Amino acid sequence: MNHEQEMRAEGIRRMLADIERETQLTAPFTGIAALDPRVMQAMAEVPREAFVPAELHSHAWDNGPLPIGQGQTISQPFIVALMTHLLEPEAEDRMLEVGTGSGYQSAVLSRLVDQVFSVERVPELTAEAVRIFRDLGYDNIETRIGNGFEGWEEHAPYDGIVVTAAASHVPPALVEQLAPGAHLVIPVGPPYGRQELLQITRDAEGHIDTRSVLPVAFVPMIDEE
């Protein structure tokens, strides 16, 4: 290994250890003692540095959010891992993300499920994410520019939906687009205020169960209605 590869391998080890530590620290809230090993494997596999601006490459494996332009951020690795775990991904699944941003969350999911659909309102972010997916050969992610508050009706129902911006309330269209047994993982609360990460489950009869998982801080969802 050359120096750069060694630094990268060390960065990945540190990030995975940080995720495990934060999982344990938050276990009293989440009730989750350890994340799914397949999720941890996907976190190790997806090159996070490809999704952050060049000048921040040395921070790509830090367990924190980073700016990605357009006033947006790539989420903290622990939160990405936790949300992915809460979706309970299976190999045959088709999942929806609202808030493509850098594309990192979709990329992690794409290693675990058959097909990922991802909606983003800022065209420049989508264009950059699509370029990165192509460079990495991740060919099971489809993107759309639009208001994710509406979901993506065309491909519904989904085996899981993850929203990576904070909504003021749970978007009804997203609940409607859940397959039986599927989870909607979404931060809900006021912009820059007290937000809760929710795991919402729809059962075969269409009944909805809502579980509050953890207090979180996400950038706000825009153009909700």
| Residues identified as active-site | 75
First CA to last CA across the chain, in angstroms? 51
Interface with ligand SAH (CB under 6 A), residue from 89, 101, 151, 189: 101
Residue whose C-alpha is closest to residue 98's, from 150, 148, 157, 160: 148
Contacts with ligand SAH by CB under 6 A: the residue count is 24
Angstrom distance (rounded) from CA 79 to CA 75: 7
State the nearest-atom distance from the C-beta of 149 to ligand SAH, in Å: 5
- Residue 99 binds ligand SAH, judged by CB under 6 A: yes
- How do strand 94-98 and strand 141-145 relate by DSSP bridges? unpaired
Choose which of 56, 132, 170, 222 interacts with ligand SAH (CB under 6 A).
222
Residue 158: name the closest of 99, 126, 192, 115 by CA: 115
149 binds ligand SAH (CB under 6 A): yes
Q: Closest approach of Cβ 1 to ligand SAH, in Å?
A: 28
Position 216 contacts ligand SAH (CB under 6 A): no
CA-CA-CA-CA dihedral for 93, 198, 39, 123, to nearest 10: 70
C-alpha dist (Å) from residue 147 to 118, 152, 166, 197:
11, 9, 14, 20
Q: Is 102 in the site for ligand SAH (CB under 6 A)?
A: yes
Nearer to ligand SAH by Cβ, of 18 and 150: the residue is 150
- Write out the residues near ligand SAH by the rule CB under 6 A: 72-75, 98-99, 101-102, 104-105, 119-122, 125, 147-149, 164-165, 219, 221-223
